[in-house]
Amino acid sequence: MMKIQVLFGTESGNAEIAAEDLADSIRNDGQDVEVHDLSAFSISELQHDAIYVFLCSTYGEGDLPNTALPFYADLSVVGPDLSGVRYAMFGLGDTFYTETYGQGATKLNDKLTELGARRVGDIGRYDASSWEPVGEAAVAWFAGVRDEVAAVL
């Protein structure tokens, strides 16, 4: 059975909270899952026999959060061939910042796609202005892409 790797990039901790809640939900479904902070995950660890679920916040003027910067920089500098790598993407942001809402996840998604990785499902979006608990939002989004994820497991 293919492993699900939940990878988060965060600035204030919300993406980590969402990642842990999502992983608990996936475990409750009987699926094997690991959670990693992107700052502690190397691009050399990306494998074809896993599915990656990225949860990435947005910081500043639509930038990636600090914990995602080294991973993104490595993708950009090394430019690995990621064909065969499959992932799902969930972005955290605040619609109050209309110009940059969810741009952290969009930038990471675009870089992964550029390098040949294939996204499964639609990009999830969390709006901090909604007051919905971020973990609940991530779990609800994943329920919507679960069938597509299961098809590649």
Q: How far apart are CA 30 and CA 122, in angstroms?
A: 23
pLDDT digits (tens, 9 = 90+) for 15-47: 999 999 999 999 998 999 999 999 999 999 999
Grade residue 73 by pLDDT with cuts at 50, 70 and 90: very high
Domain extent listing, the chain:
3-152
CATH topology of domain 3-152: Rossmann fold (3.40.50)
Task: Match 């799902």 to its residue by tokens.
Answer: 88
Residue 107 contacts residue 139 (beta carbons within 8 Å):
no
Helix ranges (DSSP H) in the chain: 14-28, 69-78, 103-114, 134-152
pLDDT digits (tens, 9 = 90+) for 41-66: 999 999 988 899 999 999 999 999 99
Q: How far apart are CA 145 and CA 137, in angstroms?
A: 13
